[in-house]
Structure 1
């Protein structure tokens, strides 16, 4: 009933159909996205692709460990309707058959086992005026209003935007990880799922929101700021403007975070907490 399939054994037509018809459908589990971010992954299948569990791996010390790829937030079980019995079976199979360093399930997966959780924040499709009036924090309304001297533009991935990202990136300190980030941006751009939204002070770009744009959701991959212009309140202006333009047709996924200051920033726009379970072997992580 449950089987592990190596990459070359996967029926990707059935795998994709399962994802598309699943209650938990998300961006990260798509074949092309996992191919780009992981490169080495397989899948645990329940029945005839009634449920699938994609498993990304990386080799360390000659051993294949399960670990979430960089820029991949949630995977887990995908099925027509979330079923905690199937989820439990696949969870136990994952723990028994693999060396798990770190693995994130998705926000819809329910388990009887009490797993550790991480935080994510999402604004569902809403009426912008009602969202702003009823759910924005008072201080966020004021900050966004004070930044109306800024100019909003949607721009292309080109030499200028790449230079801004390179000059102002603070969240990805390792050079190799930053190179993966730039490669991922090119992948998103080629697949027409990249959206770059900029805040300008006159002619100068001072803030950039890097978004993954899907049919029904925008996901914030990065918010990059020119720290010399932090008094201009560009991040508040930028998120508010994006919500004004798109929240009536697309939900907004903030993609984390567990850092208190960032968490409060997300909540101040009326974002709702959606936790997701994860497995982490802290001892194995130290050894590897």
Structure 2
């Protein structure tokens, strides 16, 4: 018999990894119309290496709300952390949900785990009713609505971006899909990766596994920009029914000279224009990168980065390189 831990009036349960029914999980996401790909069970399996639990509201044997909790052990105690390549998680609710307050789930997580690091959607206009020892700060994602046709989207491009794209039209750049993520990983390792020694071989391997799973589930794509048979830039994107997410990308020095990444993103936007979807640039707090994304007309959308450190004297816990890379990767 499965051991279940009931919480909050016997409707919210803490489910250990082996207790989570992936089929019911996915049905809940579908019923909620949830668009964040990071919340898919297969995605969590990869980025958490199979080590995640969840707070789940269950009614009539169906999951009506889910709140994933990536966990790791540190000094013998389970902690909740934000996995790499996972910008946001958070609460998913359906029409049948009776527990729809994110603060309630965070409070439960705080009562169950010693320390928590978590990032989740939180609109700028919404108050965040958490007390000490919780701390948090808002961070910007950058998103572009793709309801207009391409000509209208391009009208909102920054003048400098339009100028650079005009140059690319004269430089014989080509955008091609590819079945392998290895050239992208090698390009990154040979460029930006040299500035990020914290990104180890196991992290690149996890990204390769993530791409393989994303491709298997019909949402993962890698696109490359070539000029005279030379790879200048590449990007790993996740394309779902409601959202296209720019997860990981790289450019060579020559690619930057020829504005290859701007060309790549512009081509993807042409593909999706008029679809009504959202193009998710994944945001950045690096001013130059944020300005680059804003140049496409993308708007900042707030989310929160939360931290629960009950005892300041406790050894600071950083389970992986997420927080460093979140500031420097993009």
TM (norm. structure 1) is 0.88
2:36, 2:213 → 1: CA distance? 17
Q: Who is 1:236 aligned against?
A: 262
Say which of 91, 101, 115 aligns to 1:77. Answer: 91
Q: Who is 2:41 aligned against?
A: 31
Q: Who is 2:140 aligned against?
A: 119
Q: Who is 1:286 aligned against?
A: 316
1:263, 1:84 → 2: CA distance? 35
Q: Return the offset for 1:155.
A: 2.1
Q: Who is 2:54 aligned against?
A: 43
Give unpaired runs (5+ residues) of structure 1.
Answer: none
Aligned Cα RMSD in Å?
2.6
Over 3 Å counting, the alpha-carbon distance change for 1:132 and 1:254 in structure 2 is: same
2:259, 2:180 → 1: CA distance? 23
* Pairing 1:213-232 to 2, within 5 Å after superposition: 213-232=239-258
Deviations 1:236-272 (A, max 9, x none): 1111111112232242111121211111111110012
* Pairing 1:195-206 to 2, within 5 Å after superposition: 195-206=221-232
Give unpaired runs (5+ residues) of structure 2.
Answer: 1-10, 131-135, 319-330
1:83, 1:120 → 2: CA distance? 29
Of residues 138-147 and 192-201 in structure 1, the stretch that sits farther from structure 2 once superposed is 192-201
Q: Return the offset for 1:83.
A: 8.4
Q: Return the offset for 1:44.
A: 0.6
Of residues 156-165 and 112-121 in structure 1, the stretch that sits farther from structure 2 once superposed is 156-165
Q: Return the offset for 1:24.
A: 4.1
Say which of 259, 277, 284 aligns to 1:257. Answer: 284
